[in-house]
Structure 1
Amino acid sequence: MDIKLKPLAAIVLANMALCGVAHADTNENQFKLVLKNAFVERNFDNENIKDPGSWSQGISGFYQSKYIPTVLTVADKPIELGVDASLQYALRLSDDRHIDDTILPFNTNTQTQDRNFFKYGGTFKLKYDNTEFKVGELFLDLPITSVDTSRQLISSYWGGQIKSKVTDQLQLELGRISQVSPRYEEGFHEFSVTKNGVKQYSDGLNYVDLKYDVTPSLKAEYYYGDLEDLYDKHYLGFQYSWKNEYLKSQTHLKYFRSQDSGEAKAGEIDNHNIGLLEKVSVGNHSVGLGYQQIFGDTAYPLPDGFLPELYFINWNTTGFFKKDEKSVHFVYGYDFKDYAPGLNTMVKYVYGSDFKDAQGRDNHESETNFILTYDVQNPKLKGLAFRWLYVNYDIEHGNSFQENRVMTTFTKNF
C-alpha cells in the first residue's frame, strides 16, 4: 500500500503494507489490481492456548477516476466530479482452526472462521480549485482512523470528508465518519468501545486535522476527533528534518490526549501519551531511538476492531499503551541496494515497563521484530514483492508468543 513516511513506531505495519489505495490527484483513470498471498501463524508459549493463524489468497481491485469538469463554474473555475471504487476478496486456503486470528471473519457463536472474505465500497468525489469533497468509502491516514494493511484485506471507513490546501503552508481536513470496516470484518459497522465486557456504540466520529509547514524543515500537525458518546481525542505533533551530503535525520515529538465528556457510555477515559523519536540515516544504514509514556487513569483507548494507532511512537504487534506504561525502542535498518537491489532488512526492539497486570502485579514486556522485504527488480516481474515479519513477544505476567507473517504480492497498475 502507498503509505506516506511515518515514524518508526509504525514501521512494522508499514513494511507489511502490500497493496495501494492512496488517492493522489490525477488526470487519468487509474485501476490497481493486487494479488496477495498471506500466511500468518502465532505460537503461544502457554500450551493451553490454541495457536491462531491462517493461510489465504486475496485479490483486490482499486479504481480511481479522473476528475471531469462540469459546466458549473465559480469565479471562472469549474466544479469537477469523479468516482472511486474498491472490491476486495480473499479465500481461506488452510483448515479452520476454530479460533479468531483477526485475519479472516470469525463467528463467535459457532466458533468458525469464514471461508470467504469480501469487502467493497464506492466513493463520490467533487473538486473545486484546491478543495476536494468525498463521500462514501474513505481510506484515512489519521489518529483513530488509520488504514490497517498488516493482515489480508484492508480496513476502510464510511463518511464524508473535505480536504483543502488553504495556503502553500496550511492544509485543512475535516469530516464525519459514521462507520468502520475493520481489517477482519465484512461490511461497515458503527464505532464501538468495549470496557469490562460491555460494548458501547458511537453515532460517529467528527474530526478536524490541520497540517502546517512552519519552515521547509519543521512541520506541525493538530488533530481533534470527537467519537460521539465515547471520548474526545487531541493530537499535537512536530517533525523536524535535517540533512547534509553524508546523513539525514528526523526528530518527532508527539502528544495525545484522550478524555470522556463526563457522561460517556464507555465510562471514564482520561489519559495522555507523549512520545519522542530520533531517526538518523547514513548511507545504507538507518538507526532510530524512541521513547513513549502513558499518563492518566486508564490505558489508552482503542475502538473495537483493534484499529491501529500508527501515529504512536511505539506501535507494534502488541501495542505498548497500557496504563502508566513507559516504553523505549531501538531500530536498525539496512538497504542492500549496493549488493541486491530491492532487498531491505530491519530489526526493532521495544521494552515496556512500569505497568501492572489484571491482578495488580508489577509487569514488563518486550517485543523483537525482524523484517525482511524484497521487491523484484526484473522489469518482466515488476510489481512482485515478498515480505517476512518475525515477532518474538515476551511478558512477565501474561502470554508470550512467537509469530511469523509471510506475504507475497503482485501489483499491477492499468
Structure 2
Amino acid sequence: MAVSQLFKKPLASLTLSILAIGAYQSAAAEDNFKLVLKNAFIERNYDNDSIKDPGSWSQGISGFYTSDYVPTVLTVADKPIEIGMDASLQYALRLSGDRHVDDTILPFDTVSKTQDRNFLKYGGTLKLKYDKTEFKIGELWLDLPITSTDASRQLLSSYWGGQVKSQVTDKFKVEFGRVERVSPRYEEKFHEFSYTVNGTKYFTDGLNYVDLKYDITPNLKAEYYYGDLEDLYDKHYLGLEYWWKGQNFKSQTRLKYFRSQDSGSSQAGEVDNHNLGLLEKVFVGNHTVALGYQQLFGDTGYPLPDGFLPELYFINWNTTGFFKKDEKSVHFLYGYDFKNYVPGLNALVKYVHGFDFKDGQGRDNRESETNFILGYDFQNPKSKIKRLIIPMVIY
C-alpha cells in the first residue's frame, strides 16, 4: 500500500483461503474425471473503518471430464483422425452473509449491490487429433500471456474459441488459435473481451495468437508469443529458461520480456509498454531461494483485459500485480520442504517490493506484498483428497 496514502487508504489486507482437491480415475483406460471440492474463505481487513471489508466464505464442487481419443474411419497417410470430447461443470454456494460489497469472488450486481448466493459455470470442448497435432474448439483452458487459467479464487476462469497444438519435432512445439469469449473467475457466462481506459470500456471481436516453444539445448528453452486483441492492442512475449545442475544443488534462470502496443487503429487509444523481468531460483536440499527483478517502462502502464485476468507469465505474479507505469519491483522467495519430518508438507514465503511509480496525484509511491503459503500433499494413494493449500497475503 502506498506510504503517501497511509492515513487515507487501508494499511493492510489479509487473504486466507483453504483448498482441498479430490480426484479419481474413471473405468475407461484413459478417460479421466476429476472432482474438485474447494472451500474458500477469503477475507480482506482494512484499517480504515470507513471502507467495508470485502470477503466471503463459499463451498465449490466442480467436475472436469477429459476423454480419451477414439480413432475414426477417416485416415490420412494410413494414420487415423481421432476424436474426443471434454466437459466441465463448476458450482459454488456462498455460505456467508451478503456484505453488499464486490469482493471479486462471486458474481456481484453493481446496481442492487448484492452478491449472488449461487455461482455456476459450464462448458464443453470438441477435440480432434491427427498424429502429433490437436485441434480443439469450445471451452479452452489456456496458460499463455493475456489468457491464463486463474485458480486463485473460487471457480476457474476459462475461454471460448479454437486452438491448434502441434509437436512439430521433439524440440519444437507450435500453438495458435482464436479466442472470442472469456468467462472470468467471478462471472458465469462467456462474453467479449474488453479493455477499460479512463472509465470507458472498449470491446474486441477476439484474440488471435501464436505461441512457439523451442528447446535450444536440454537445459535451455525459448518461447515466443504474439497476441492481437483486435482493435485494442498487440502483445509480444519472449522468454528464456535455463537450468543448471551442480553436484549438490540446481538453479533455474528465467528471463522474460513483454512488449505491448496499439496497432495504430486502436479504438482504446495509445498503448506503449515494455516489461522486463529476471528471476534466479536456487534449489539446495530441502531449501528453495529465489531473487527477482522486474521493471516496466514506456508511455503507458501494462495493459490487462477486464475481468481481473492475471498475467501469470510474469516472473512472479502477485495479487498486487506490480505492473503500474514505470514501476520497478524486487522479488524474494524462500521455500522449505518438510519431507524429512512430515512427508508432503511444504511452506513458502514470498515478498515483493515495488517502487519508482506515481500515485493518482502524481506523487512518488511504493507498495509491497508478502505471501505465506502452506501446502500439504496427502501421502495415501487411495485418498480422494490430494492436496491442501492455505495461503495468506499481506499488503
Aligned AA (2:206): G
Aligned to 1:359: 361
Q: Structure 1 runs of 4+ off > 4 angstroms?
A: 15-21
- CA offset at residue 298 of structure 1? 1.0
**Matching of residue 219 in structure 1 with residue 221 in structure 2:** yes
Aligned to 1:309: 311
> Once structures 1 and 2 are overlaid, which stretch shifts more, 104-113 or 378-387?
378-387
CA distance change for structure 1 residues 180 and 17 in 2, over 3 Å: closer, same or farther?
farther
Aligned to 2:10: none
- CA offset at residue 142 of structure 1? 0.4
Contact 2:345 2:375 in 1 (8 A): yes
- CA offset at residue 49 of structure 1? 1.1
Q: How far apart in 2 are the matches of 1:214 and 1:19? A: 36
CA-atom RMSD, angstroms?
A: 1.7
Contact 1:18 1:149 in 2 (8 A): no
Q: How far apart in 2 are the matches of 1:20 and 1:77? A: 37
- CA offset at residue 294 of structure 1? 0.3
Contact 2:18 2:40 in 1 (8 A): no
Residue among 114, 130, 133 paired with 1:128: 130
- Listed one character per residue, the Cα deviations across residues 205-247 of structure 1 (whole Å, up to 9, x for unaligned) are 0000000000000000000000011100000000000113311
Contact 2:132 2:166 in 1 (8 A): yes
Counterparts in 2 of 1:89-104, with a 5 A limit? 89-104=91-106
Percentage of matched positions with identical amino acids: 76
Aligned AA (2:334): Y
Contact 1:376 1:382 in 2 (8 A): no
Q: How far apart in 2 are the matches of 1:193 and 1:156? A: 17
Q: How far apart in 2 are the matches of 1:134 and 1:304? A: 25
Q: How far apart in 1 are the matches of 2:22 and 2:379? A: 19
CA distance change for structure 1 residues 76 and 384 in 2, over 3 Å: closer, same or farther?
closer
Aligned AA (1:153): L
CA distance change for structure 1 residues 164 and 27 in 2, over 3 Å: closer, same or farther?
farther
Unaligned runs of 5+ in 1: 1-12, 394-414
SS of the residue corresponding to residue 43 of structure 1 reads coil
**Matching of residue 292 in structure 1 with residue 290 in structure 2:** no
Aligned to 1:378: 380
**Matching of residue 266 in structure 1 with residue 268 in structure 2:** yes
- CA offset at residue 388 of structure 1? 1.6
SS of the residue corresponding to residue 189 of structure 1 reads coil
- CA offset at residue 339 of structure 1? 0.2
- CA offset at residue 376 of structure 1? 2.5
Contact 2:237 2:259 in 1 (8 A): yes
Higher relative contact order (CA 8 A, sep 6+): 1
Aligned to 1:172: 174
Aligned residues: 376
TM-score normalised according to structure 2 size = 0.92
Counterparts in 2 of 1:192-271, with a 5 A limit? 192-271=194-273
Aligned AA (1:334): Y
Aligned to 1:64: 66
Aligned AA (2:326): D
Unaligned runs of 5+ in 2: 1-14
SS of the residue corresponding to residue 253 of structure 1 reads strand
Counterparts in 2 of 1:276-355, with a 5 A limit? 276-355=278-357
Contact 2:349 2:371 in 1 (8 A): yes
